[in-house]
Amino acid sequence: LLTAPLAGAADNAQKDLAQAQDKVNEELKAARSKANEIIEQAHQRANQLIDAAKADAIAEGNRQKALAEAEIE
């Protein structure tokens, strides 16, 4: 059997391990949260780019249409 000092050291090691595991879990939670923020920002930026491309395409279509109409007249 373990002697008293060894049992105390084992208890301390178990406590340290539990604290380390808690710290890891906290850090993982924070990292996941930050990753989700970054992903959401990327989605928002992608939607902005798509909207801008749509607006540019509509403007170009209108310009081409006006040129075609001018040629017809």
Dihedral angle sign, alpha carbons of residues 33, 35, 39, 42: positive
Are 43 and 35 a contacting pair, CB within 8 Å?
no
Predicted pLDDT at 66: 96
The pTM assigned to this predicted structure is 0.65
pLDDT level of residue 32 (50, 70, 90 thresholds)? very high
The token duo for 28 is 């993982």
Spell out the residues 6+ positions from residue 2 whose beta carbon is closer than 8 angstroms to its own.
10
DSSP, res 3: -
Rounded to an integer, the average pLDDT of 21-25 is: 98
Average pLDDT, the chain: 93
Q: Give the 3-state secondary structure of residue 1.
A: coil
Rounded to an integer, the average pLDDT of 16-42 is: 98
Range of weakest confidence among 11-15, 56-60, 61-65: 11-15
